[in-house]
Structure 1
Amino acid sequence: MPRPLVVGNGKLLINFDDRLHMRDLYYPYVGQLNHVGGHFSKMGIWVSGQFSWLDEDGWQRKLGYEKESLVTDVHCEHESMQISLHLSDGVHQRDPIYLKKVRVHNRSSEAREVRLFFNHDFSLNESEVGDTAVYDPLLRTIYHYKRNVYILVNGKTNIGGIDQYSVGIKRFHYAEGTWRDAEDGLLAGNPIAQGSVDSTIALRMMLGPDEKQVMTYWMCIGDSYSDVKKRNQYVLESDPERLLSRVSVYWQRWVNKEERDFADLPAEVIDLYKTSLLIVRTQIDQHGAILAANDSDILQYNRDHYSYMWPRDGALIACAMAKAGYTGVVAPFFRFCAEALTDEGYLQHKYNPDGSVGSSWHPYIVDDEIQLPIQEDETALVLYALWEQYKSGKQLEDCQALYPTLIRPAARFLLDYMHPEWDLPMPSYDLWEERRGIYTFTSAAVFAGLKAAARFALLFGDDHRFQRYDQGAERIREAMLKHLYDPQLGRFLRGYSAGPEGRLEKDFTMESSLFALFAFDVLPADDPRVVNTMEAVKRSLLVQTPVGGFSRYQGDAYFQKAHDRSLVPGNPWIICTLWIADWEIAKATSWSELQEPKERLQWVVRKALQSGVLPEQLDPYSGAPVSVAPLTWSHATYVGTVLRYLEKVQELQGRKERS
C-alpha cells in the first residue's frame, strides 16, 4: 500500500497510508529504525454513542498537503454520524516532534459530546519484545519506552488534556489491543503494561449545533525520559496549534527560497515540482544518506525494503536537488560516501542510513570465478554528482576537503578497473541490479565520473592527475563508439551480458537507460547515433495502453503485470518516461518541439497520487501505483526534468533575441 502522506525533518520520518493509519515512524535515522513497522496506529471518534475508526468505509477521505508545505491537508466526513474532520499533520522542522491539529465540525442541529481516540501500536527498535507503555500522572501523558527510545503522546482540547487512557497487551495470548477497548467510547484506565503492548488515549470536547472546535495532539520522540519531557514542555509552552503553523510557514519559505520563472508550465506542473522538492527532503537523513523509499509494505514482496542508500540513486537525486538550489541539503551525502568508500576506492551495493553496509544479492564468486560484487556506475556517479553540485553552489572548500578522501581514490579505482583489451569498464552489475556485464549506461557513468575528477584536478591545479583522468575518460568514449555502437543496427547496444562460462555476448535488449549517452555528455543529444538509439527506445518501450508511459526495458518482469508483451514491454516507470522527456528537451530547437516533453510532465502529474506522491511504477492497465510510493528517485527526476525544460526555454528565448 503506498504512503500518500509523509512528514519529516531529516531526524524523524512518519508515513500514513490512504486510510490514515500511521504505518511507519523512523527515528533516529530516516529509514532506520521503524518503530511502527507497518502496523496500524489509528484514530477514531465517538459521537453520541456511535463509534468509528477513520479507516472504516463510512468515511469520505480527501488527502493532500497545504499549499507548498509539508503540513498535510486532510478532509474526512462521515455522513451518518453528521461529523467532519479537517486534519493537519506535520513534523517540527528542527526537533523530533510530531504535531496534529484536528478541526472538528458538528454538522448536527443538536449539541453533542465528541471523543477522539488515538491508538499507538509501536514496536520499539523494530521489536515488540520488552516494550513498556505507561501512564505518567505527573505529566498526564502516556509514553512508550525501551532502552534508548522514548515516545511520549499528549493532546488537549478547550476542556483539557487526556481525558481517558489505557495501556495493554496486543497480538499475544488472544489480546487484540486497547484499540478494541475504545469502541464503546470508554477506556479501562490500565496504567502500565510490558512486552507486546499498545496504548490508546481519548480527548473530549463539547460542541454546539453546527459548531467547530480545534483539538491538538502530539508525539515527542527522544533518547530518554528527560528528552521527551523537555519536548513535551516545549510544545505546551509554545502552544501546539501555533507551533504547527510555524512548521507550515518554514516549509513554505524553504520551498520558495529560489526565485524561479516557470515560463509556460501549467500550475499543476509547478505544484508537483514544489511538492517533489518537499517530499525528497523528507527522505534525506541529516547524516547524509539519501533513502530510496521508506514504504515498509514492500517487505511483503521480498522480505527486504527500500530503506537503503543506493549511491546511484543518491547521486542522481543530489544532482537534481543541487540544480534546484539545495546544495546544503545534499552536501552531507558526499561526506557519507567518502566515509563509506572502501580502501580500494569503490562504493558497495547499498548502505543503511547509519553508514553500515546494506543487504545484497551480488555474490563474490560465480562459476568458481571470483568477482567484485558491485555496480560500478554507483562509484562513478557520485563523482559526477559532486561536480554538478560544485557548479551549482561553488562550495570550493567542501570539494577540496573531499579531493583526497573521495575524488582521487574513486577516480583511481575507475582507471584501474578497466578491461585490458576493450578500454571499457570491467564487468559489473547493471543499474537495475539484475545482470552482470559491460553496459552502455555503466560505461557512460564511468566516463562522466572520470571527466568530473579531471575537472576537479584542473580546479585544484593538479595537472598530472587532470591528464590521467581526462585521457582515461576519452579512451572510454572511443571504446564505446567501437564496441557498444552497432553500425548495422544504427544504434547503441544495451551492452554485453555475461553468457555461458562467463563469455560476454551482445545484449540487443532495448533499454531506457541508454539516455545516459547524452545525459552524461558522451555524445550530443542530436548526434545521429543518439537520435537513432533514442527513437528506437521510444518505439520499443512505449506502453500501448491508455495508461501510457515508458517501461525500463523489453521483457521487464519486476512486478510484472503485462498480458501482451507486444503492447506492454514492461510496467511504465516514472523515471523512464521522464528520461524520454529529457532527451526531447535536450534536442529541441523550437517551441513546438517542447510541447511533447511538456505533455510528459503533465502525464506525471496525472499519475501522481491525490496528495502528489509519485510511485516507482504503474499498473499498465489500471494506472494504480506499483511497488513503493513515494520513490525519491521519481520525485527528483521530475524536479530535474522541469529544470531542464526551463533551461531550454531560456536558451530558445536567447536565440530568438540574438536573431
Structure 2
Amino acid sequence: MTRPIVLSNGELHVGINNFGLVHDFYFPYVGLENHAAGKDLRHHVGVWVDGQISWLDIHASDWHVEFSYPHRGLVGHMVAVNEALGIILEFDDTVDAHMNAFLRNIHVVNMREYEREVRLFTHQAFAIGDSRSNTDTAQYLPDSDAILHYRGNRVFVVSGNYHNAPFDQYTVGIFGIEGKEGTYRDADDGELSMSNVEHGRVDSTLRFTLQLAPHDSGRVHYWIAAGTSLRDALHINKQIQKQGVGHYMHSTLHWWHTWLEPTERVLDRMDERYRDNFRHSVMIIKSQIDKRGAVIASTDSAMLNYWRDAYAYCWPRDGAYVLWPLIRLGYTEEPLKFFEFCRRVMHPSGYLMHKFRADGALGSSWHPYVHDGLVAPPIQEDETALVLFVFAQYYGMHKDQRLLDDFYEEMIKPMALFLAEHIDEATGLPKPSYDLWEEVFLTTTYTTSVVYAALLAAGDLAEAAGDHNNAVAWRLAADDIYDAAHKHLYNSQRKSFYKGLLARDGEITYDERIDTSSVFGAFMFGLFPIRELELQTALQSLLKVFPTHEGAYGLPRYENDTYLRTNDTLPGNWWHIASLWLAQYCIETGDSETATKIIDWVQQYAGPTGVLSEQLDPHTGESLSVAPLTWSHAEFVATLLDMITEPEAH
C-alpha cells in the first residue's frame, strides 16, 4: 500500500497510509524498529456522531480522502469527507524537526444545519521493538494526562487536547490475542471503558468530545512523544502541553524552509509544472535518510504482509544514487554522513556487503558465499564501486583536503585496491558478483561500467592525495577493463550488450538478455562513449525489444523480468528508474523533446503528493511494490537537474 504521506526528522519516521492512518512508526532509526508495521497495527481514527461510529479505514467507502504537501515543508495535509455523516476531518501532520514527536492538528467540521456533539476517537497499537512478542505495557498516566506505551528502552507517550483540556475518556486493552480485536471496538457505542493498565499485546484509545454549532468546527491537537527512556518521552510530552502543537508545527516548517533553500534556488530555472513534485521528491528523499547516514530504500512496510521482508535497508548503491542529486544541489551533511556510514560498515577486505540495517548491522541476504562451486564474497560489486565514484564527484565539487584526510586511507584506498585486484584473469573483467537487480551471479556489463569509472575516479583521488603509484596503477587497471569490455561485452548478433558473462574452466557463457542497466550503465559511466556505434545500436535494440510510444514510456528492467509481474505476455513491469535513465540519455544527446515526454509520463503516475513507486503494472498503470521508493525519486530529481544544466560528462 502506498504511503502518500511520509514524515521524518532522521530518528522518528512516520508513514501515513491511504486511509490517513499511522501505518509505519520507526524509532529511533529511520528504517529500523517499526513499532507499527503490519495490517493489524494501523492506528484507527473514528468519529461518533448522531448515535453511530465511522472509522476512516473500516468504513472507507463512506469517506473521500485527499492528500497533499501544501506547505513547502514535510507537513502533510489530509482532508477526509463523509457526506452521509456530515463530517469533514482535516489533518495537518508532521514529525517535529527538533524532538521526537509525531503531531496531528485535526480540524473537525460539522456540515449540518444543527448543533451536534461529535466524539473523535484516536487509537494506537504498537508492537514495540518490531518484535511481535506479547510483552508491551500500556497504562494511563493521570499526572501527565497521557497514555504510556513502553517496552524496555522504547517509550511512547500519547496525549492530546481540545480547547486546552485533555481527552475526556480513554481505555487500554489487548488486541490480536484472546479473541480481542482491539480497544477501538470499545468506542462503538461512543463510550470508553476507562481501563487503566494492561500488558501483553496492548493498544489504547482516546476520546475527544466536541460541541459544534451548525457549520461550526473545532481543532483537536494530538501527539505521540517518543523516547528511549520514560524521562525523555515525558519531557517531550510536557513541552508540547506547554508550548502547543501549533508552536511546533510552525518551528518545523521554518526548519524545512531553511533546509530546502538549495532546492528552491534551482526551481526558477525549471518548468513550472515540475516544481511541486521536484520539491516533494527532495523532501521524500530526506525523509528516508537516517541522521546517522543510512539511506533507506523505502520505509513502506506493506510488503511485510505478503513477503518475507521489506525494503527498510540501506543498499549502498541506492544510497549513492540517492545522494548524487542532493550533492548536485549543494547539500553536504547527508552525503558526509552517508560516506561515514559506508566507511564504518565496510568489510576489512575493502568491499561493501549486500545491504545494511540503519544501525550499520548486516541486513538480511539471500546471496551465498558458494556459487555453484565457486567461492566468492556474497556481494554486488557495483555497490562498492558506485560509493567510491560518487565520493569522487563530491570531492571534485568541494576540493576539501579534510575529505581526503578523513576518507582516503580508511575507505577510498581499500575500496580501490579491492576493485583493481578483483579481476578475472580469463577475461580481464571484474570477477563475477551479483547484478544490481540482486538475482544473477555474473560479470555484468553494468557492474563493469561502474568499476571502470570508479577506478578512474580513484586514480584522480590518489593523485590529489599524493599517492602517485596507486594513481597510475588504478588508471591502468581501468584501461585494461575498458579494453576487455570492448572485446567481450558487445553482442554483435543482437547488436546490444550482453547482460553479462561467466568464465569457468576455460569456457565463457553469455547471458544474452537485453537489460536496461547494461545500456545505461555503459552510457552513464563512459565504458562505451556516447558516439560509439556499439552504444547507439544497443539503445536502438533496447527500444526495439521494449517499444515506447506516445503516452507510454515505461521500460522494464530486462527481458522477461518476472518480479511481481502480473501478465506473462509482457516482458516485465515498468520501472520509473529505467524510464528516467532513457530520459537522461535523451537529454545528453540533445533530444529534450522525448526527455520531456518521459518526465511528463513519470509524473502522470506519481501520487497526489508526488510519491513514486518502484514499479507500474503495464496493463493498468497501478503502482506495484513499495511507494515511495527513494531511488525512483532520486532519478526524477537527477533527470530534472539534467534538464536545466549543460550536459555533463558521464
Could you say which residue in structure 2 is the equivalent of 1:98?
A: 102
Could you say which residue in structure 2 is the equivalent of 1:596?
A: 594
Within 2, Cα distance between the matches of 1:505 and 1:430? 16
Within 1, Cα distance between the matches of 2:311 and 2:195? 38
Structure 1 residue 200, shift from structure 2 partner: 0.3
Structure 1 residue 98, shift from structure 2 partner: 0.6
Within 2, Cα distance between the matches of 1:225 and 1:442? 48
Could you say which residue in structure 2 is the equivalent of 1:30?
A: 30
In structure 1, give the amino acid aligned to 2:455. L
- The answer as to whether partners of 1:430 and 1:437 remain within 8 angstroms in 2 is yes
In structure 1, give the amino acid aligned to 2:159. N
Do the aligned partners of residues 177 and 491 (structure 1) sit closer, same or farther apart at CA in structure 2, a change above 3 Å counting?
closer
Structure 1 residue 543, shift from structure 2 partner: 6.1
Do the aligned partners of residues 558 and 22 (structure 1) sit closer, same or farther apart at CA in structure 2, a change above 3 Å counting?
same
Could you say which residue in structure 1 is the equivalent of 2:480?
A: 475
Do the aligned partners of residues 537 and 242 (structure 1) sit closer, same or farther apart at CA in structure 2, a change above 3 Å counting?
same
- The answer as to whether partners of 2:552 and 2:601 remain within 8 angstroms in 1 is no
Higher deviation after alignment, 295-304 or 273-282: 295-304
Could you say which residue in structure 1 is the equivalent of 2:295?
A: 290
In structure 2, give the amino acid aligned to 1:129. N
Task: List runs of 5+ in structure 1 lacking aligned partners.
Answer: 652-659
Within 1, Cα distance between the matches of 2:362 and 2:73? 34
Could you say which residue in structure 2 is the equivalent of 1:137?
A: 142
Could you say which residue in structure 1 is the equivalent of 2:560?
A: 555
Within 2, Cα distance between the matches of 1:249 and 1:526? 47
How big is the alpha-carbon RMSD for the aligned residues of Structure 1 and Structure 2? 1.9
Do the aligned partners of residues 136 and 483 (structure 1) sit closer, same or farther apart at CA in structure 2, a change above 3 Å counting?
same
Structure 1 residue 629, shift from structure 2 partner: 0.7
Structure 1 residue 235, shift from structure 2 partner: 1.1
Could you say which residue in structure 2 is the equivalent of 1:570?
A: 572
Could you say which residue in structure 1 is the equivalent of 2:44?
A: 42
Higher deviation after alignment, 123-132 or 26-35: 123-132
Q: Secondary structure at the match of 1:648?
A: coil
Q: Secondary structure at the match of 1:284?
A: coil
Is 1:319 the counterpart of 2:319 in the alignment? no
In structure 2, give the amino acid aligned to 1:550. L
Is 1:358 the counterpart of 2:363 in the alignment? yes
Do the aligned partners of residues 502 and 350 (structure 1) sit closer, same or farther apart at CA in structure 2, a change above 3 Å counting?
farther
Could you say which residue in structure 1 is the equivalent of 2:92?
A: 88
- The answer as to whether partners of 1:168 and 1:197 remain within 8 angstroms in 2 is yes
Instruction: Calculate the TM-score normalised by the size of structure 1.
Output: 0.94
- The answer as to whether partners of 2:497 and 2:514 remain within 8 angstroms in 1 is no
- The answer as to whether partners of 1:585 and 1:648 remain within 8 angstroms in 2 is no
Q: Of 173, 176, 181, which aligns to 1:171? A: 176
Higher deviation after alignment, 331-340 or 542-551: 542-551
In structure 1, give the amino acid aligned to 2:462. A
- The answer as to whether partners of 2:298 and 2:312 remain within 8 angstroms in 1 is yes
Within 2, Cα distance between the matches of 1:203 and 1:504? 71
Structure 1 residue 242, shift from structure 2 partner: 2.3
Could you say which residue in structure 1 is the equivalent of 2:631?
A: 633
Structure 1 residue 172, shift from structure 2 partner: 1.1
Structure 1 residue 90, shift from structure 2 partner: 0.3
Could you say which residue in structure 1 is the equivalent of 2:509?
A: 505
Residues 55-454 of structure 1 aligned to structure 2 (within 5 Å): 55=57, 56=59, 57-126=61-130, 127-158=132-163, 160-262=165-267, 265-454=270-459
Cα shift readout 1:214-272 (whole Å, capped 9, x = no counterpart): 21111100011100111011112221112112222322332233453457744332211
Cα shift readout 1:357-391 (whole Å, capped 9, x = no counterpart): 11111111133332221111111111001112223
Q: Secondary structure at the match of 1:601?
A: helix
Structure 1 residue 553, shift from structure 2 partner: 0.5
Do the aligned partners of residues 179 and 391 (structure 1) sit closer, same or farther apart at CA in structure 2, a change above 3 Å counting?
same
Identity score, percent: 35
Within 1, Cα distance between the matches of 2:489 and 2:422? 18
In structure 2, give the amino acid aligned to 1:428. S
Structure 1 residue 441, shift from structure 2 partner: 0.3
Could you say which residue in structure 2 is the equivalent of 1:455?
A: 460
Within 1, Cα distance between the matches of 2:543 and 2:585? 11
Q: Secondary structure at the match of 1:537?
A: helix
- The answer as to whether partners of 2:46 and 2:55 remain within 8 angstroms in 1 is yes
Within 2, Cα distance between the matches of 1:65 and 1:264? 22
Within 2, Cα distance between the matches of 1:131 and 1:547? 50
Q: Secondary structure at the match of 1:353?
A: coil
Cα shift readout 1:401-423 (whole Å, capped 9, x = no counterpart): 11011100010000110011322
Structure 1 residue 311, shift from structure 2 partner: 1.0
- The answer as to whether partners of 2:141 and 2:148 remain within 8 angstroms in 1 is yes
In structure 1, give the amino acid aligned to 2:406. A
Higher deviation after alignment, 239-248 or 3-12: 239-248
Cα shift readout 1:4-51 (whole Å, capped 9, x = no counterpart): 211111101111110122111011111110101122211111123221
- The answer as to whether partners of 1:16 and 1:22 remain within 8 angstroms in 2 is yes
Higher deviation after alignment, 156-165 or 277-286: 156-165
Higher deviation after alignment, 434-443 or 501-510: 501-510
Within 2, Cα distance between the matches of 1:182 and 1:498? 66
Cα shift readout 1:405-459 (whole Å, capped 9, x = no counterpart): 1100010000110011322100111111111111110001101111121111111
Q: Secondary structure at the match of 1:76?
A: strand
- The answer as to whether partners of 2:494 and 2:541 remain within 8 angstroms in 1 is no
Within 2, Cα distance between the matches of 1:19 and 1:268? 27
Structure 1 residue 545, shift from structure 2 partner: 10
Is 1:19 the counterpart of 2:19 in the alignment? yes
Structure 1 residue 650, shift from structure 2 partner: 11
Cα shift readout 1:251-300 (whole Å, capped 9, x = no counterpart): 23322334534577443322111101000101111111101111111123
Q: Secondary structure at the match of 1:89?
A: strand
Q: Secondary structure at the match of 2:350?
A: coil
- The answer as to whether partners of 1:545 and 1:620 remain within 8 angstroms in 2 is no
- The answer as to whether partners of 1:325 and 1:392 remain within 8 angstroms in 2 is no
Structure 1 residue 67, shift from structure 2 partner: 3.8
- The answer as to whether partners of 1:287 and 1:333 remain within 8 angstroms in 2 is yes
Within 1, Cα distance between the matches of 2:297 and 2:213? 48
Do the aligned partners of residues 90 and 263 (structure 1) sit closer, same or farther apart at CA in structure 2, a change above 3 Å counting?
closer
Structure 1 residue 521, shift from structure 2 partner: 2.3
Structure 1 residue 323, shift from structure 2 partner: 1.2
In structure 2, give the amino acid aligned to 1:79. E
Could you say which residue in structure 1 is the equivalent of 2:525?
A: 520
Within 2, Cα distance between the matches of 1:452 and 1:443? 14
- The answer as to whether partners of 1:437 and 1:504 remain within 8 angstroms in 2 is no
Task: List runs of 5+ in structure 2 lacking aligned partners.
Answer: none
Within 2, Cα distance between the matches of 1:3 and 1:149? 24
Cα shift readout 1:138-169 (whole Å, capped 9, x = no counterpart): 00100101100000011111161111100011
Instruction: Calculate the TM-score normalised by the size of structure 2.
Output: 0.95
Q: Secondary structure at the match of 1:464?
A: helix
Equivalent pairs counted in the alignment come to 643
- The answer as to whether partners of 2:491 and 2:512 remain within 8 angstroms in 1 is no
